[in-house]
Structure 1
Amino acid sequence: MKRVGKPVFFIVALLILFLTYSATFGIKGKNGDNSTTYIKGVSDIRWGIDINGGVEATFSPATSKKATKEQIDSAKSIIEVRLTTNHITDYELYSDYNNDRIIVRFPWKNDEKTFDPESAIKELSATAMLTFRAGDEYTTVTTGSDGQPVYKTPKGETASNIILTGSDIKSAKSEMYQDQTTGKATYQVGLELTESGTKKFAEATEKMQGEIISIWMDDVRISNPRVNEVITDGKCSIQGNFTAAEASSLANKITAGALPFKLTTTNFSTISPTLGSSSLHAMLIAGIIAFAIICVFMLVQFRLPGFIAIIALLGQIALSFAAVSGYFPFIQSFTLTLPGIAGIILSIGMGVDANIITACRIKEELWAGKTLDGAIQKGDDNSFWAIFDGNITVVIVGVILMAVFGPTNILSMLFGASTTGSIYSFGYTLLIGIVGNFLFGVTATRLMTKSISGFKFARNKWLYGGAAE
């Protein structure tokens, strides 16, 4: 067996424990009077309607003119984009063409305290309109919740000279490109304009080379790029040393502002949860008790490999919650429904199974007369494909559930948006859990086992299930 350095056990274990702590509690700080979240934890998870309840809102065009079916569909599509870009998958969205209405149901925010439906629907920015304006003149500057300045209310030429509106934007997406100066990979926002937008933008960029065209959502500036060249083909990019998260956020804001008309909220109400927070609390207690029982079983039955398996399981659980809370900057927060919790539980069960298979194989090799190093290596080799075959089939199922039951697909028409969103949540958490199983239950477990076996106190075969020495 190829030995793994002794410090590896402690390094891997400490990294897993840090992930577990930070993914559970998050890391927050104070910037003056403002609270800043550096790393999101479990408290930042947005729970689904079935657990936390939510809001029902009805949107209508802010005009007396009859809207066309195409306009209603366009507005509905933009609202759906706003929901999905915020990873709100547990929603229902309907169109009423006869009465010019769009009806949406979605869960409360994770930190909701007032449970005011009128305030909650502002998260969708239903009345926000996107504009590209000449110059970068503003009236006031305030400080946002993240401590960064927020520029509000255009003035002067910026207020009067509107170059493009949201309806002129065909698409906006985050893109990676290589900086020609530094050679480093960085991010930008790629824009594609409509036919009318292309013509207007070509005229503006020809006149404003070297000047700023600022981008506003209602009266809040969201970007202020400078024109570097004349753009005549309707395709351009916004560059500014963006991170992946910043580029994605800006692209989402631009896309979300492309409404064909302003919307007003004509009706809103609250939705009661089918389970409620008390059920969530009960599930939490049950989960802690179940995990404690699993830990005792693994320690008694498998001794040292069982102890290592417990550490690996903590990492897998932490990764599952980190993937839905917004812990990673490149993965936004995700609506966690009851089926989503079921996906996490199922994947944890498969993680336990993977560790048991490996521990049993090592134990069998020891009783067959192998040396400790030989038993660990042979046990790892013999168990890998059994674990791989069992997990890869679940990966395929998870991918299919996400692809087929995603927020927008043909099955949404057959089963309804709420059903597909719930199934999508199950597929997502199941897939993340299996990825965590390979990362922690297979890779991390084996590194820690080979590493700790190099210590003299851990060379006794009894610790691995063999005969006492």
Structure 2
Amino acid sequence: MKRLGISVSLILAILILAFSVLSVFGYSYYVGDNKVTVFKGFGSIDWGVDVNGGSKIAVKAASADEISAVADVVRDRAAKFGLTDHQICVDEAKGQLELTVPQSLDCDFSAEEVAGFLTSYGNLTIRPDGSYTNMTVDSSDSAAFVTPTGSTAETILITSDDVSGSSWFEYVEDKYSYYYLNIEFNEVGSDKMATYTNADTGTYYNKAVSIWLDDRMISNPTVSETIDGGTLSVSSDSMTQSKAELYSAVISAGKMPCNVSVVSVTDVAPLANNISDIIFIAGVVALAAIMVFMIFRYRLGAFAGIFAVLLQFSGVLAVITRFAGEGRTFLLTIPGAAALAFSVMLTVLSFALMGERMVSELKGGTVVGTAISTGIEKSRKIILDMSVVLAVVALMGMFMFGTSAFTTAIFGNYTLSGVYNFSYVLFFGAVINLISGYVVPQLMLRSLQSFSKKPSMFGGAK
């Protein structure tokens, strides 16, 4: 086995330690009053209903058949919004549906407003001008213009029946981000928009139009060119990424098959207070205990295991927080947190397989270099098989209980958030373990033998 210099361990240790600090604490700075988040940490995690509570809205339709169809639309909207933790209860006898969404959402709307959008009628209309009756302030302190009036109320140019879908995109200029909502028209809608906005004959060319979602105006642009490509891109001063995501989800899923009325809106309490703090403290204590045990058992060799565990924990945490990504984090529930703990134990087990074989060889009189090589070789297949099998099982769980197109085709728009949460975190934990549970410890063990060749320094007899 080729020996590596001690510098390999030092470089790996510094890189892993730096990554761990950033993944746990994150990094952000301020430009004026605006906070710019570069890396998201543990404190940025969006927690599920079981951890931070949520908001529950109850809506009512006229019949059992109608409320079942309403439930399908709500599930589709929640899936398109990426709401992996939500609860839908349907009472067909009462023609009533209850939707619960998490309180902890990195969103410019409150949980109550999100629930309201997901259960709203959701009819998109494009109207002339932009006259409104009232102005309110939403939970992001942005002006919300509601209820069209005058010619805006009297004339409807486009409805949801003319729309085939929606998406959003980010436009960056001079380091500032602007978010746009794409409205995609079907053939009928495309023809209407091309006629309305024709530069030569269009009634609304060079004039203001307004885009409404039910009775809320979401944009009030001026038509400056012919819209004949089947897509309209709009924005507003208050358009943010989360708002664009939510509008797009509601529009893409289509309007409700019937009108629904709101019965009640209530808060839902978490399972216990300060669960996220308890999870963090328990995780720190568990990691510390594991590290102490490793040092007593493997001595110098333990540092390979310690940094492997740190990499596994911070790597899976980075996946959950979407470390350097835009927008919301993965919505973590207690089952997801359990999968994070399981992923860390997977790396502990992987290193233990390697370390115990190494210690056994050392106690049998084998020299350090050979003992390390044997430990690496004898544990390789078990570690790889274990990681691959768990990744496949977790992937099956994600497919069966997730929100992918594959799942939708077989099971419909159904999400069992606890199983999906556990499977999602476990899948990435198993994949990352291929690096943190095998590649990193074997590199560091091969490097650490350059520091000492005494068997006692690696858990052997003195």
In structure 2, distance between residues paired with 1:344 and 1:432: 9
Q: Secondary structure at the match of 1:277?
A: coil
In structure 2, the residue matched to 1:385 is: 381
Asked if the contact 2:197–2:225 (Cα under 8 Å) also holds between the matched residues in 1, the reply is yes
Asked if the contact 2:198–2:226 (Cα under 8 Å) also holds between the matched residues in 1, the reply is no
Q: Give the CA deviation at 1:462.
A: 3.2
For the pair 1:256 / 2:250, whether they are aligned, the reply is: yes
For the pair 1:194 / 2:189, whether they are aligned, the reply is: no
In structure 2, distance between residues paired with 1:282 and 1:95: 33
In structure 2, distance between residues paired with 1:50 and 1:153: 34
Q: Secondary structure at the match of 1:105?
A: strand
Asked if the contact 2:128–2:209 (Cα under 8 Å) also holds between the matched residues in 1, the reply is yes
For the pair 1:266 / 2:257, whether they are aligned, the reply is: no
CA RMSD of aligned residues (A): 4.9
Q: Secondary structure at the match of 1:294?
A: helix
In structure 2, the residue matched to 1:53 is: 53
Q: What is the TM-score with the length of structure 1 in the denominator?
A: 0.71
Cα 1:37–1:123 change in 2 (3 A) is farther
Match for 1:421 among 417, 434, 457?
Answer: 417
Asked if the contact 1:131–1:162 (Cα under 8 Å) also holds between the matched residues in 2, the reply is yes
Cα 1:202–1:314 change in 2 (3 A) is same
Structure 2 counterpart of 1:219, which letter? M
1:361-400 aligned within 5 A: 361-366=357-362, 367=364, 369-370=366-367, 372=369, 374-400=370-396
Q: Give the CA deviation at 1:457.
A: 2.9
1:171-190 aligned within 5 A: 171-172=165-166
> After superposition, what is the alpha-carbon deviation per residue over 1:215-244, rounded to whole angstroms, capped at 9, x for unaligned?
77643449999979843xx5x69799xxxx
Q: Give the CA deviation at 1:13.
A: 2.3
Cα 1:251–1:283 change in 2 (3 A) is closer
> After superposition, what is the alpha-carbon deviation per residue over 1:142-184, rounded to whole angstroms, capped at 9, x for unaligned?
xx999xxx898699xx979976444433334689xxxxxxxxx
In structure 2, distance between residues paired with 1:302 and 1:291: 16
Q: Give the CA deviation at 1:376.
A: 3.4
For the pair 1:105 / 2:127, whether they are aligned, the reply is: no
Cα 1:392–1:213 change in 2 (3 A) is farther
Q: Secondary structure at the match of 2:451?
A: helix
Match for 2:300 among 304, 320, 323?
Answer: 304
Structure 2 counterpart of 1:387, which letter? I
For the pair 1:93 / 2:91, whether they are aligned, the reply is: no
State which drifts further: 128-137 or 194-203. 128-137
Alignment length (residue pairs) = 429
In structure 1, the residue matched to 2:79 is: 84
Cα 1:463–1:411 change in 2 (3 A) is farther
Cα 1:239–1:5 change in 2 (3 A) is farther
Match for 1:313 among 285, 304, 309?
Answer: 309
Q: Give the CA deviation at 1:122.
A: 0.7
1:184-223 aligned within 5 A: 193-203=185-195, 207=199, 218-221=216-219
In structure 2, the residue matched to 1:449 is: 445
For the pair 1:122 / 2:122, whether they are aligned, the reply is: no
Cα 1:279–1:95 change in 2 (3 A) is closer
Q: What is the TM-score with the length of structure 2 in the denominator?
A: 0.72
Asked if the contact 1:23–1:318 (Cα under 8 Å) also holds between the matched residues in 2, the reply is yes
Unpaired runs of 5+ in structure 1? 113-117, 138-143, 176-187
> After superposition, what is the alpha-carbon deviation per residue over 1:250-303, rounded to whole angstroms, capped at 9, x for unaligned?
566423234348866431112233x31255544444433332221111111112
In structure 1, distance between residues paired with 2:313 and 2:222: 41
Q: Secondary structure at the match of 1:438?
A: helix
In structure 2, distance between residues paired with 1:83 and 1:45: 19
In structure 2, distance between residues paired with 1:223 and 1:37: 30
In structure 2, distance between residues paired with 1:285 and 1:375: 37
